[in-house]
Structure 1
Amino acid sequence: MRRPLAVAATLTGLLAIAASTAALAHQGNPNMKSVVRALQPKVPGLALQVLSGDDRFQLTNRSTTTVLVQGYDREPYARLAPDGTVQVNHNSPAYYLNTDRYGAVTVPKTASAKAVPDWHVLDKTGVFEWHDHRMHYMAKDTPAIVKDKAKRTKVFDYAIPIRIGTQEGRILGTLWWAPPKGGGAPVGAIVAFAVLVLLGGVAVLVTRRRRRGPAEAW
């Protein structure tokens, strides 16, 4: 009798892990899409894309110049050198604020727009990923501008300051309310349904074992 129960517990644990993995794979809002319209100035070797709908940027520098990403007070936040070295400034408030989707963190007193940059090497891939609050909606409810949740709706435009070499630049983009096509079920709902189905199957197995009696116990 114990084996079916053990199977049920194992299946529940595995599916819980699967649900967590699925959630981590997409941290953005499934109903939002942040779209980059332009990276100015246009420089050969620079590429920028949005990952997970509205979750984060991925900037790749294969150019011959240094790119500096600026924080919320235009302070130096991250820089990508031509040799592939990626550094982040631990004295930038953005370094801390970007660790939480809604900025619900305490910024150290040492971090400010006027502080001397404290650069730390992140890696040497020439690729930098970062969450940026300027690219997504900073609340958990539906934006008031969205009147019909079934229709694609522009939420706002954004312009994020950067420096490319000695030139001032900007990341220009737009945040859209973009409901899933076909009204697909969310990952969480799919996983929850799978859990119910599997546990239901185990329950049937347990019931049958009980009817057969202890002579056929595993």
Structure 2
Amino acid sequence: MIRDLMTRAGLVLAGALAGVLALAAPALAHGADAPDGTDYRTRVSAVGPTLPGVTVRVVEAGARLELTNAGERPVEVIGYSGEPYLRVAPDGVYENVRSPATYLNRTIAGDTRLPAEADPAAAPEWRRVDGSTTVRWHDQRALWREAAPPPQVRAAPDREHRVRDWAVPLRVGTDTGEIRGTLDWVPPPDAYVWWVAATVGLLAVGALGLLPAGSGPGARALAGLGGLLVVGGVAAVVFTVGRELDAGARGVGGVLTGLLGGQVWALLTGLGAIAAGLFALARRPAADFALALAGACLALFAGVANAAVFARAVAPVPWPATTARTMIAVVLIAGAGVTAAGALRLHATSRPTHPPLPAPAYPHP
């Protein structure tokens, strides 16, 4: 009976999830080179003159611009040589295959080899690439692509600097406009401080595994480890959702699609940590093994995978960078610390509880 109920519940959940994804508007996935953090802050300051229905924002920690056209007239984004580059119309998004920007903007480095057909002086040749009214693209005018920082940053790296004011031209019919914004250098944090804090925290949590597993303090330690793993799992899930929001996902359907398409491992390890933590809080058999396994996965796939935020000023989430660093520190402390504690508890319980029987003594002949 219980098995049938669980099967039906699983089918209902799967059907509901499939329905949400089917009804969701097509979501543009993360770029293949979406950064885990950066020290350059890109902002959109204005779109002018006023274009009805046109909104622009920065996504992927500043790596891309996103333009949505809810108006009735097509909007063209102008490329680097004054040629039409993108066209966002009510029936979809088009790119000009003759524009060099079509190829240069495929990577954040702008190092794509130009094909022979790329010619900014040629008449536009439009190719439909999406059925929505939203487009995202790398734009070299809003990025710093050099390996070395600007001269003013090299002279004073501990201060914030305005690198440039940038503009991206737009055209609507015969009317012209532009996206205006700023690019700033923001001094990165001291990653050493965050790594030391995370290391001290995980060692303190791991020390809980030294308490006798079967005693009153040991039982309370198990509950504490379970609760901490739940907190770490929640932090991992929230951070993962934040990455999707920063990448431009809209609504529940868009977030779910992005999570299942690009952030599935971080999501699953976060949910697994929550489940293992609740398992330990219920003091179920094999709780120590569940804690150690889920903690290791959490630390690796949700902690270490996002640890770049410790050394970057701008994090790939829609919250202050300090909040993002604190969340990843919690994930690492909970994951690695609970793994160590669970392993110690497993080792303690695997040792024999009774001394071995003495070997029988045989008389000498």
Normalised by the length of structure 2, the TM-score is 0.45
* Aligned residues of 1:61 and 1:84 also touching (Cα < 8 A): no
Following superposition, the deviation at residue 144 of structure 1 comes to 2.7
Gapped regions of structure 2 (runs ≥ 5): 1-29, 187-312, 315-319, 354-365
- Structure 1: gaps (5+ residues): 1-21, 214-218
Aligned to 2:93: 86
Q: Is the 8 A contact 2:99 2:119 kept in 1?
A: yes
Deviates more, 1:22-31 or 1:149-158: 22-31
Distance 1:133 1:159 in 2: 11
| Alignment CA distance shift 1:103-1:202 (3 Å) | farther
Give distance in 2, aligned partners of 1:87 and 1:52. 22
The 5-angstrom pairing of residues 49-64 of structure 1 reads 49-64=57-72
Q: Deviations over 1:48-85 (max 9, x none)?
A: 1111332111111122322111112122211012x242
Matched residue type, 2:144: Y
Partner residue in 2 for 1:16: none
Structure 1's 209 and 118: CA in aligned 2 closer, same or farther, altered over 3 A?
farther
SS at match of 2:121: coil
- Structure with bigger helix share is 2
Pick which of 83-92 and 179-188 moved more. Answer: 179-188
CA distance in 1, matches of 2:57, 2:326: 24
Out of 43, 51, 68, the residue aligned to residue 43 of structure 1 is: 51
1:97 aligns with 2:101: no
SS at match of 2:344: helix
Secondary structure at 1:162 match in 2:
strand
Q: Deviations over 1:88-147 (max 9, x none)?
A: 122222111111111122121211212343322122321111111110111244333225
Larger relative strand fraction:
1
> How far did residue 163 of structure 1 move?
1.0
- Displacement of 1:191 after TM fit? 6.4
Pick aligned residue for 2:38 from 27, 30, 42: 30
2:135 to 121, 128, 136: 128
User: Looking at both structures, which has the greater relative contact order when contacts are Cα pairs under 8 Å and sequence separation is at least 6?
Assistant: 1
- Which position in structure 2 is the counterpart of 1:119? 126
Question: Within 5 A, what are the aligned runs for 1:111-190?
Answer: 111-146=118-153, 147-178=155-186, 179=313, 185=325
Q: CA deviation at 1:156?
A: 0.7
- CA contact under 8 A between 1:56 and 1:129: conserved in structure 2? yes
**RMSD, aligned α-carbons:** 3.2
Aligned residue number for residue 310 of structure 2: none
Of 141-150 and 185-194, more deviation after overlay is shown by 185-194
Query: Higher Cα Rg: structure 1 or 2?
Result: 2
Q: CA deviation at 1:186?
A: 8.7
Question: Aligned equivalents of 1:203 and 1:141: distance in 2?
Answer: 44
Q: Is the 8 A contact 2:163 2:185 kept in 1?
A: yes
